[in-house]
Amino acid sequence: MLADLKFALRQLRKSPGFTLTAVLTLALGIGATTAIFTLTDSILLKPLRFPQQSRLVRIGYGGSVEATFPKGWIRALGEHSQAFASISAFGPDAQSNIGDQGSPDRVFGAQVMVNALDTLGIQPAVGRFFSSDDAIAGHDPVVVLGYGYWRQRFAADHGVIGHTVRIDGIDRRIVGVMPAGVRFPYANTQFLTPVTFRGGDPIDPWNNFDLHGFGRLKPGVVPLQAQAELRSLQKVLLPMFPWIMPSDWASDIGVVPLLQSEVGSVRSMLLLLFSAVGLILLIACANVAGLMLARASSREREIAVRGALGATPGRLIRQILSESVVLGALAGVAGLLAAVAGLQTLISLLPSNTPRISEISMHWPVFLFAAAASLLTGLLFGLIPALKMSSPRLTEALHAGSRSVTGKPGQFRISTGLVIAQIALSVIVISAAGLMLHTLWDLSQVDPGFRTSRIVTAQVSLDENTCPDPHITPGAPAPGRCQAFFKSLLDRLQGLPGEESVALTGTLPLQGQLGSYVYDAQGHPRDARQGALLATGRVVSPSYFSTLGMNLVRGRLLDAQDASGVSHAVVINQHMAEHLWPHQDPVGMHLINVMDEPRPAEWLPSLSSIIVGVVSNTRDGTLAAPFGDEAYFPMTG
């Protein structure tokens, strides 16, 4: 074998043009395949940093693991379940101010149930995690720091435990630090605070549906068993709500393995990319196989002499395959270097919310894959020439020139087959790329319903002591101090040089804030056990519609008087008007937020919002999604 490899290297040195062409062709395919495999392995295949991750599952309903629950529901599930060793939850990703008011850090944090980190089965790098006492509202406020933020802000000082840090105007005592490499519940989470319960308050555990559930199964329990138990518990726990809930709420509650829930959104994309680069590698193999076949045909006399001297067909195959394996190895090294050089560029092209994007790196499975791809590639493109040349027609090869031998009828059938294979594979890749470009073009032609040119956005959030209720109900009076700040901000921003218009809103379009307004509508009575209506609720300044270029369809827009909170005005979109009142004028109709007030016997102005106008539709969620119901409430204060 060593002699064959040495001979192969000598042969390749004699044909530098052929060698360079073959290596570069294969390196393109191997490099692209290795780079995409790195993404696939890091995101889809690499285990999470939690022990026995196969027992960790996400809990959701309605076919989505992003469905949210109230904290009372999560606690009740944990108390009644027999299939789970532990059930916990985490809240939304939110920005906070850490430090003094003069120069605070703006970082992301999240609330978690006090048993969340124990459910994951991890141990703190320093200190401890939350205890049951930390779940009591009014108890000593505590915080667990992320490992990266601990090293960045506190220089990995172990003595930080017990010290206080000011988060959104609240002094919290540092009790622990997350272990290195663990990013939970989001990739950018820098600190965790506990979800708390107010003792003696029957409404507190149930009024906010903002927690994502997850749990650890008991040994031997499979997800389907756990799902069946949760669905049986739904009817048992539903009466715990302090108000009547629809009987079908969370009736389809289900579980999904934790890793699958994290990567589900990009799984199909990565598999499609991996399939595409795999086809490109096959095209490269067919290309190089054609080159090898042409080159081998010119060596028929040499092969014939070796056969005449006693070389067996197996020996000849091994010799020819040794050249292809050496070519594959050289191409593998070049492809791996290209993959390493281009990986960071590839990562920068990914969306910032790509799951596990911070964990993408090359490690030993990637190098094993590159080595295996190089070996298999060498065998694949070298096999056809080796089989063809292993049994040469000795008499013809020795008594005729290579030109007469290669020019006989049928001699080019294999080469023709390789060309056909390349064309077929290329058509598949080009067709798939064309379909994706067509989809992208269609999406680019979708009207989002608002002006997109010359529009810039900025996010501004205040401390909890300024805005004490982070879950402000749309349409309800907001804390005066918070609104005073935003009114002052809006006044100061208006009229800046180069600015045409400025507005404020709680959530921007296309951010997927769906179903945030739960309401009843005038003229649409429902049974007490029926679910209320859902719409996207936005709190906006009066200039919101003109800034985004939205058209008034009927009635009027919000004005300064509405911002005073006296009129209880609301503007709805055209889709909502056609959905609720298809043959009526919606202006003058009333909406009531059922999460704020009990269902009234009549539509009282003090409890309901009155529709004063209808505006054009805007898309929310994604451009591919249809229009939905939207209600716009004035910022009041």
Looking at per-residue pLDDT, the higher value among 177 and 593 belongs to 177
Nearest partner of 26 among 374, 420, 429, 421, judged by Cα: 374
**Assigned token pair, 68:** 């949210």
Angle between helices 223-237 and 71-80 (to 10 degrees): 120
DSSP state of 585: -
Q: Mean pLDDT over residues 185-193, rounded?
A: 91
Question: Which pLDDT does position 472 carry in this prediction?
Answer: 40
Q: Is the predicted pLDDT of residue 494 greater than 60, yes or no?
A: yes
Cα 622 to its chain centre, rounded Å, is 14
> Concatenated DSSP letters for 219-272?
TT--HHHHHHHHHHHHHHHGGGSSSPPPTTTTTT-EEEEHHHHHHHHHHHHHHH
**Assigned token pair, 505:** 């809103």
Would you call 561 helix, strand, or coil by DSSP? helix
Instruction: Give the range with max mean pLDDT: 137-141, 169-173, 175-179.
Output: 175-179
Q: Mean pLDDT over residues 82-103, rounded?
A: 85
DSSP state of 450: S
Q: Could you tell me if 339 and 35 are in contact, meaning their C-beta atoms sit under 8 angstroms apart?
A: yes
224: buried, middle or exposed (CB in 10 Å: 19+, 13-18, 0-12)? exposed
Reported as a single tens digit per residue, the pLDDT across 109-128 is 999 999 999 999 999 999 99
Reported as a single tens digit per residue, the pLDDT across 580-607 is 999 899 999 999 887 654 444 444 445 6
Question: Which pLDDT does position 412 carry in this prediction?
Answer: 60
Q: Mean pLDDT over residues 322-331, rounded?
A: 87
Would you call 432 helix, strand, or coil by DSSP? helix
Question: Which pLDDT does position 603 carry in this prediction?
Answer: 44
Least confident of 152-156, 460-464, 631-635: 460-464
Q: Mean pLDDT over residues 504-526, rounded?
A: 78
Q: Please, which pLDDT band fits residue 353 given cuts at 50, 70 and 90?
A: confident
Q: Cα-Cα-Cα-Cα dihedral of 486, 492, 494, 496, to 10°?
A: -140
Q: How many percent of the chain have pLDDT more than 90? A: 34
Reported as a single tens digit per residue, the pLDDT across 281-303 is 888 888 888 887 777 666 666 67
Q: Mean pLDDT over residues 345-349, rounded?
A: 88
Question: Which pLDDT does position 110 carry in this prediction?
Answer: 94
Pairing of strands 609-615, 569-573: parallel
Question: Which pLDDT does position 512 carry in this prediction?
Answer: 63
Question: Which pLDDT does position 300 carry in this prediction?
Answer: 66
Q: Is the predicted pLDDT of residue 164 greater than 80, yes or no?
A: yes
Length of the chain: 637
> 596: which residues sit within 8 A by CB, 6+ positions away?
473, 476
Task: Determine the Cα–Cα distance for residues 286 and 415; give it in Å rounded to an integer.
Answer: 9
Reported as a single tens digit per residue, the pLDDT across 239-277 is 998 877 777 888 899 999 998 888 877 888 888 889 889
| C-alpha separations of 72 from 20, 87, 137, 214, 242 in Å | 67, 12, 14, 14, 11
Count CA atoms within 13 Å of residue 464 on its CB side. Answer: 13
217 membership: H or E segment, kind and range: strand 212-217
> Concatenated DSSP letters for 284-343?
HHHHHHHHHHHHHHTTHHHHHHHHHTT--HHHHHHHHHHHHHHHHHHHHHHHHHHHHHHH
Q: Could you tell me if 214 and 59 are in contact, meaning their C-beta atoms sit under 8 angstroms apart?
A: yes
344 membership: H or E segment, kind and range: helix 313-349
- Ramachandran angles phi, psi of 189, nearest 5°: -70, 125
Q: Please, which pLDDT band fits residue 392 given cuts at 50, 70 and 90?
A: low
Q: Mean pLDDT over residues 180-190, rounded?
A: 89
Q: Is the predicted pLDDT of residue 499 greater than 70, yes or no?
A: yes
Q: Is the predicted pLDDT of residue 489 greater than 70, yes or no?
A: yes
Q: Mean pLDDT over residues 306-335, rounded?
A: 80
Q: Mean pLDDT over residues 31-60, rounded?
A: 91
Which amino acid appears at position 580 of this protein? L
DSSP state of 43: I
Query: Across the chain, what does the average pLDDT equal?
Result: 83
Query: Which pTM was predicted?
Result: 0.72
